Chains A and B, each alone.
Chain A
């Protein structure tokens, strides 16, 4: 069924060598983890969902409308995207960096539905608060720790107040505590603010314990999709990652044991 509102839908996406017909319907208010081995097509999938890659066949539909038909600025207001290993060219302060997320709302003076400077300031403050960055507002990013920097970059996406938040490996290079903090803040965006959050993660335990839904990709196809406990079964993990693996512990605090590393 096409045209369901408030949905981000991937319809049989094909990208040669990367995606071999991916279909997904994503819902707001949920945090979805996209997992898979290296080269499985995770980054390509989320870049398509963000409207940055145009699939060779198939389409991404936002509220039933093809994403490619939406003007880039309008798309940017609704879908925020945090690229893998994001870069910042100049040594901005945290506040200036976060304010860059307001660009889709600013632009040409004659533009209709343009945000007022007050709205921009409030949105930046909300984004800083959401990522626990108020005290670091005026610090330059070269003086942030890795965890603070990751939160500042996430706040940059949040300041645009998009309905959809897509992040390609935001937890890479973060230690356990900082990764957990960022995951907690992203979950809050989904559950309290009602955004649709889509995150590419490598750590299966993070996906298992914190996501509402897990999508497993293998060679450009979805091989499992559902609540973490149902999608990430021992058998599936063992097959897709090619290692005999089994989950230990209680739901919500699972750890993955690899049986045969010797």
Chain B
């Protein structure tokens, strides 16, 4: 394990138990006065903290891998259309008023559908003439899937049968970790861990791609295998995340940026630290949502965008001023 990974891991291990104490009701570990402190801790805060860590890790890793694949610091895991497709599945579940437990199933089915579609596109025969296996074509296809899923979601919202369904859909889309249970952890954690593992397998291929597609192929890269690994890895991490928490933006975009200067900038070396830092960021952001004195709890997705957007603007301005080494070469 590199020193960077170790540092973030230690920070995460310190932050995780601390985060359990914070919330609408503060828990004092030395003088437990509340009778139901154990219930709050074990049934409410622990699964929620574990979900934040899981989802943050998945989004961070997926973002790092996507930026490596597209050789662009502005890429994020939503670009392949997997997140919007998963959200579309969830919206359909909410729209039809089906039982609550169907929502993650529908969301995973949506993610799976997008993955299958991307897999079919990636599977086109590449003979070097037709452009099969090309990053640009593949990404455009992903963007089309994203925009189609987005349009269908808007359609569902505009056709919502009752105002209640409408507000439920809109609120759900904002992304949150409120009132999550151990069942959600059991669903998201294995899928996300598997996804991160798959993304790690894509590491050497992403490194080769640093040199451009032709040079990468001359180094023995199989572009289709890389695409399938990315579809699998991004699909599992992002699909699992949307299924239990809705759409959570910015983690996949910002975290790789924060981590990259501490690495040697090879994409393979970015995936693990991005996962760990994503976990830390989402855990901190969720704590913030819990403790802010608002009438209803701030939605996690909104909070991240509120913090993330100004941060990202500042980053872009600095990139432009400071010769923009990364962006300029991309």
Chain A residues with CB under 8 Å of chain B are 47, 50-54, 71-77, 79-83, 86-93, 96, 100-101, 103-104, 106-107, 140-142, 156, 160
Q: Which of B204-218 contact A (CB under 8 A)?
A: 204, 207-212, 214-215, 217-218
Chain A residues, Cβ within 8 Å of B212 = 83, 86-87, 89
Tell me, in angstroms, the Cα distance from A149 to B211 when the chains sit together.
13
State the Cβ distance, B37 to closest chain A Cβ, in Å.
Answer: 46
Cβ-defined partner of A47 (8 Å) among B127, B214, B219, B325 = B214
Contact A160 B265 (CB under 8 A): no
A74 to B, closest residue via Cβ: B220
In the complex, B43 has a CB within 8 A of chain A:
no
Tell me, in angstroms, the Cα distance from A50 to B216 when the chains sit together.
12
Tell me, in angstroms, the Cα distance from A90 to B266 when the chains sit together.
8
Tell me, in angstroms, the Cα distance from A89 to B161 when the chains sit together.
49
**A92-B266, A96-B264 known; A72+B221 contact, CB < 8 A:** yes
Cβ-defined partner of A142 (8 Å) among B128, B264, B329 = B329
Tell me, in angstroms, the Cα distance from A93 to B267 when the chains sit together.
14
Chain B residues, Cβ within 8 Å of A75 = 220
Give the interface residue-count category, chain B: 20 to 34
Tell me, in angstroms, the Cα distance from A136 to B204 when the chains sit together.
25
Tell me, in angstroms, the Cα distance from A198 to B325 when the chains sit together.
32
Contact B211 A156 (CB under 8 A): yes
Contacts A50-B218, A100-B266 supplied; 20 other A-B pairs, CB < 8 Å: A47-B128, A47-B214, A51-B218, A52-B128, A52-B214, A52-B218, A72-B222, A73-B220, A74-B220, A76-B220, A79-B218, A83-B212, A83-B214, A88-B211, A89-B72, A89-B330, A90-B210, A96-B266, A104-B219, A107-B204
CB pairs A–B below 8 angstroms (20 shown): A51-B218, A52-B128, A53-B128, A53-B129, A80-B218, A82-B215, A83-B214, A88-B329, A89-B330, A90-B210, A90-B266, A91-B265, A91-B325, A92-B265, A93-B264, A96-B265, A96-B266, A103-B219, A142-B328, A142-B329
Chain A residues, Cβ within 8 Å of B220 = 71-77, 103-104, 107
Contact A81 B329 (CB under 8 A): no
State the Cβ distance, B327 to closest chain A Cβ, in Å.
Answer: 10
Mask, B185-216, CB within 8 Å of A = 1, is 00000000000000000001001111110110
Contact B207 A100 (CB under 8 A): yes
Q: Name the 5 nearest CB pairs between A and B, nearest first.
A: A76-B220, A89-B71, A81-B218, A73-B220, A91-B325
Contact A54 B127 (CB under 8 A): yes
B128 to A, closest residue via Cβ: A53
B215 to A, closest residue via Cβ: A83
Chain B residues, Cβ within 8 Å of A141 = 329
Chain B residues, Cβ within 8 Å of A142 = 323, 325, 328-329
Mask, B244-275, CB within 8 Å of A = 1, is 00000000000000001000111100000000
Contact B210 A100 (CB under 8 A): yes
B261 to A, closest residue via Cβ: A91
